[in-house]
Structure 1
């Protein structure tokens, strides 16, 4: 395929935007080459600035469950835009979307809308600290909760050491209150709680991880985590920015049969527009201003365009629960097809899948946490990514990202994707 215009646009962008992109993974640093610039999209397809059509497996990193430019969502946004784009004042549609979200998700009474998943997770942590009157949090290596200072922490020398910043600009003072545990390792959490008794406000986790590939928690781990948090008076926060309203009406809580204390949402809840939200039981949410002492605010929170898109999207998903089974079946079909082709190619690989999330890892052993995910052969992944791109298939440009399937994908698209894999050299 030809990408001359995309390359020229990237060169121009680098003159005015750091790295030429507004989010680092878009720069193709992990796979090499220049990023693809999108001109438009419809259904399951991206159309780039060079006129290439690409089968899309990122769906704007998750929210476009029903495909790009989905009719009811687009119509809702256009209709709302004609009446004004932002007011900084309450609107009825905020309550409508809140009522619908609360009705779909288990174990929440109230929800607060913000503008991004990062903002949702940042606010959830503040709320947890205010509610528990404790300062420290536990996160898991390989889980991503946005670029707030509290989350940009890498592991120390042992399971019970403090984390240290992995980005300049994050202070040691901030880092000392974030502790690192190992995904799928309950004992690592128990050790941290034991070493910091009475100081842990919350444990935050991607219940189905999507930022080290798709990583599924073991049943013993996730159930044990819920039990441990309850016993220790620690709030369990599910970051459902990726999984919320994607794995089912009730997200990962419903899929896993686990009730978290605070939930973070993004992506789907705005139908692809910039949005986020956090939610909990009334007793926790009552600590939030103006009802309580924990402050959080935003001029664009509850933006009418995002609310209109979110209401249209969630209404469709609520009325058509069969979409989730359709997505799961399509993802299983792709998994099975990839499995057959990769076996024939004789390269070491693992495929992880849950619902409509999936990832391919070029490694020998099981991929259950960040450490095992990092063992993947990145040179093979680069060949895989660019080989598929040359065949008209757009996959995540990083070995540490999940695929997100959308229901506009046809079985012909899936067959074409499997055939593309068969044609490339690894």
Structure 2
């Protein structure tokens, strides 16, 4: 049997997608006149074009061509409870019916409620300040660290994603330079010297970098659970050593929990590790589907945001016109309260479904002759995780533990995961991201069974046509 190459299979999938999604294709083509690549966020603009949604509820999303998809993208993994939960919609409707909800420029009564609920779940944090995106929150956290320590160098994990700001645009996905290169134009040349990447879950590299730069390091910013870099948990020994080294050298530890905050339990992941960050960055789930992000931390650091801070140390953390937007604060406060009150019902169930999906996908592909590794689980701490990453491997691995493996084309086939597999599952009515994505409380066992049937159908078809994961 002649082998089907990656390019041939991709062409087939794209051709069928064009044929079966005429309304989305038309909308996309017309959007190109007004919008770069037809939209405003590159992750949403997958190849050959995105489908355009007209309705999203619970576990499903419906597009303009009438297709209903099981959705595991779930608002960039924000939607712990699924799309548009009724109680949030009802609360916002009532708020708007009262003639409230649009920006006023005054402090919202609800921001204190959201702050109280968040801080009740982060014992080491004393105060919080809100803004509108994870990008802004992580940028402000780094600015605070540099001001507080009066140092310049920032350590970040190679393959870590902290948003599109100058301090985060080095070492993201470009493997050619070992996840150590600047990945955006328009930045000052000094950024390359001020941002130093460290290898995730590599204690030797972490020790060496601190030994070399330690006295000049303002902070280490990292995700305890790597999101875009592969759905990988930090080894407990790595995270604890990061805390020890930052303290030893007088640097701050910033934990970016935009993805992990309120994803694995009604709180932050660092608590499950027994690690306390100096500053914690939050986003996604804390807004209840609305644009909210935050920096939480120790008062002595956060006070540098105050107008009363010494001028030479003051950080202009102003948040933006729409920071602490009243409707966003109300939605977030209501959502977080719900997660806290229903923690025992929500998290064990979706975590167990995540474990099932990871196990089954690996079994399905290996039975059909493909090397596949699913990430998103954590064995050492026993965390039940509802996130599932799928990686098509080109070599056997004992463990996939770092973005340096995820983005190495000799190890993992990124195109197969992000494009080919995605289009194949879309044909079966399943929308995925990073190979699979996030399970929400709205997903039923029947939904999971349907998704796994789609995976099995895809794997069998690939085996039938002789598709192989090879460089061509």
After superposition, what is the alpha-carbon deviation per residue over 1:304-346, rounded to whole angstroms, capped at 9, x for unaligned? 1111110111010010112111110111121222122112111
Q: Distance in 1 between matches of 2:286 and 2:271?
A: 17
Aligned residues: 417
Q: Distance in 1 between matches of 2:457 and 2:152?
A: 53
Asked whether 1:73 is paired with 2:88, we answer yes
Does the aligned pair in 2 maintain the 1:42–1:68 contact within 8 Å? yes
Counterpart of 1:302?
324
| 2:389 is the counterpart of 1:359 | yes
> Residue 164 of structure 1 contacts residue 176 of structure 1 at CA under 8 Å; is this kept in 2?
no
2:420 to 383, 407, 417: 383
Q: Distance in 2 between matches of 1:93 and 1:146?
A: 26
Alpha carbons of 1:4 and 1:110: their partners in 2 closer, same or farther (altered >3 Å)?
same
Tell me how far apart the structure 2 counterparts of residues 164 and 380 of structure 1 sit (CA, whole Å): 24
Q: Which residue of 1 aligns with 2:36?
A: 18
Contact 2:167 2:195 in 1 (8 A): yes
SS in 2 for 1:311: helix
**CA 169–136 in structure 1, closer or farther in 2 if over 3 Å, else same:** same
1:77 CA displacement: 2.1
Deviations 1:260-319 (A, max 9, x none): 110001111111111110000222212222342222112211001111110111010010
Aligned to 1:233: 250
| Equivalent residue runs for 1:6-85 within 5 Å | 6-28=24-46, 32-81=47-96, 82-85=99-102
2:133 to 100, 116, 132: 116
Structure 2 Cα separation of the partners of residues 240 and 162 of structure 1 = 21
Provide the C-alpha distance between the structure 2 equivalents of 1:215 and 1:245, rounded to a whole number of angstroms.
17
Residue in 1 that maps onto 2:286: 269
Larger Rg: 2
8 Å contact from structure 1 (residues 94, 307) kept in 2: yes
Given that 1:213 and 1:358 are in contact with CA atoms closer than 8 Å, whether structure 2 keeps it comes out as no
Runs of 4+ off more than 6 Å: none
After the TM superposition, which residues 199-348 of structure 1 pair with which residues of structure 2 at under 5 Å, given as runs?
Answer: 199-292=216-309, 293-297=314-318, 298-322=320-344, 323-348=346-371
**How far 1:379 sits from its partner (Å)?**
4.8
Measured after TM superposition, the shift of residue 192 of structure 1 is 2.1
**Unpaired runs of 5+ in structure 2?**
1-16, 173-177, 378-384, 463-472
* Alignment check: 8 A CA contact 1:58 1:395 kept: yes
Q: TM-score, normalised by structure 2?
A: 0.85
User: Are 2:69 and 2:431, in contact at CA under 8 Å, matched by a contact in 1?
Assistant: yes
Check 1:213–1:220 CA distance in 2 against 1; reply closer, same or farther (3 A cut): same
Aligned to 1:392: 429
RMSD of aligned Cα (Å): 2.0
Aligned to 1:99: 116
Give, in angstroms, the shift of residue 173 of structure 1: 1.7
Paired position in structure 1 for 2:380: none
- Partner of 1:198, secondary structure, is helix
**SS at 2:315 equivalent:** coil
Match of residue 158 from structure 1: none
Secondary structure at the aligned position of 1:263 is classed as: strand
The unaligned stretches of length 5 or more in structure 1 are: 156-160
Is the CA contact 1:40–1:48 (under 8 Å) kept in the aligned structure 2?
A: yes
Tell me if the contact between 2:158 and 2:180 (Cα under 8 Å) persists in the aligned partners.
no
Matched residues in 2 for 1:69 and 1:140: separation?
34
Deviations along 1:199-228, one digit per CA (max 9) or x if unpaired, are: 101000011001122112112111111111
Q: Structure 1 residues 202 and 45, CA, compared in 2 at 3 Å: closer, same or farther?
A: same
CA distance in 2, matches of 1:406, 1:113: 25
* CA distance in structure 2 between the partners assigned to 1:165 and 1:39 by the alignment: 38
